[in-house]
């Protein structure tokens, strides 16, 4: 059987394009949307989602919380540490709960997107950093969250000691 060439179409690039379109279609159907379509809006929305996840995951009923189940991948990866000791936990909601429960923070902060803004999808892999802290104990937990398609896939933290203080008004006009 003789192969016929189609004018103007190469099979390899056409198949690659179909693969990319199929991946995008799968990602779109599997994506948990975030509000906004600019990088600054997506970063802020995922930062707030990360905070919500920590708040819900440290509650006693975390295992049956449907909203938490919606926001987090089934096999979420988690690691934590303090001082010289780091711990990678087995994947799953129990690991997320262990890390979240160890964060006894009373406050949080995250940085905004202060760079050139532009269109951005929350349906891709995105790293978000949120710091949780407790001023009374002088403890900080900087946490890196990895989201894929809007769902938490992994988080990592290391408990740190921290000092807060006020600057003097001297020299400020």
Question: What is the pTM (predicted TM-score) of this model?
Answer: 0.80
Has residue 166 been placed in a domain? no
pLDDT, residue 3, reads: 52
pLDDT, residue 1, reads: 55
pLDDT, residue 41, reads: 96
Q: What CATH number corresponds to the domain at position 65?
A: 3.10.450
Spans of the chain below 70 pLDDT? 1-29, 173
73-113 pLDDT, tens per residue?
999 999 999 999 999 999 999 999 999 999 999 999 999 99
Residue with tokens 């990319």: 20
Measured in degrees and rounded to the nearest 5, phi and psi for residue 11 equal: -65, -40
pLDDT, residue 93, reads: 97
Structure tokens at 16: 């690659």
Q: Which residues pair with 85 in a beta bridge?
A: 82
Domain housing 63: 35-161
What's the domain count of the chain? 1
CA distance 44 to 18: 33
Has residue 10 been placed in a domain? no
pLDDT, residue 4, reads: 53
Has residue 74 been placed in a domain? yes
Has residue 17 been placed in a domain? no
Has residue 120 been placed in a domain? yes
């Amino acid at each position: 059987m003789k192969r016929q060439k189609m004018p103007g179409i190469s099979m390899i690039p056409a198949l690659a394009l179909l693969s990319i379109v199929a991946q995008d279609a799968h990602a779109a159907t599997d994506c948990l949307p975030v509000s906004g379509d600019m990088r600054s809006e997506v970063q802020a929305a995922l930062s707030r989602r990360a905070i919500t996840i920590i708040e819900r995951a440290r509650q006693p009923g975390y295992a049956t919380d449907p909203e938490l189940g919606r926001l987090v991948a089934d096999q979420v990866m988690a690691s934590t540490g303090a001082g010289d000791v780091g711990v990678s936990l087995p994947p799953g909601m129990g690991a997320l709960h262990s890390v979240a429960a160890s964060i006894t923070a009373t406050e949080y902060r995250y940085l905004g997107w202060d760079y050139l803004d532009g269109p951005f999808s929350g349906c891709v892999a995105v790293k978000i950093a949120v710091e949780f802290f407790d001023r009374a104990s002088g403890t900080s937990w900087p946490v890196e969250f990895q989201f894929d398609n809007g769902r938490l896939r992994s988080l990592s933290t290391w408990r740190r000691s921290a000092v807060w203080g006020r600057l003097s008004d001297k020299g400020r006009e």
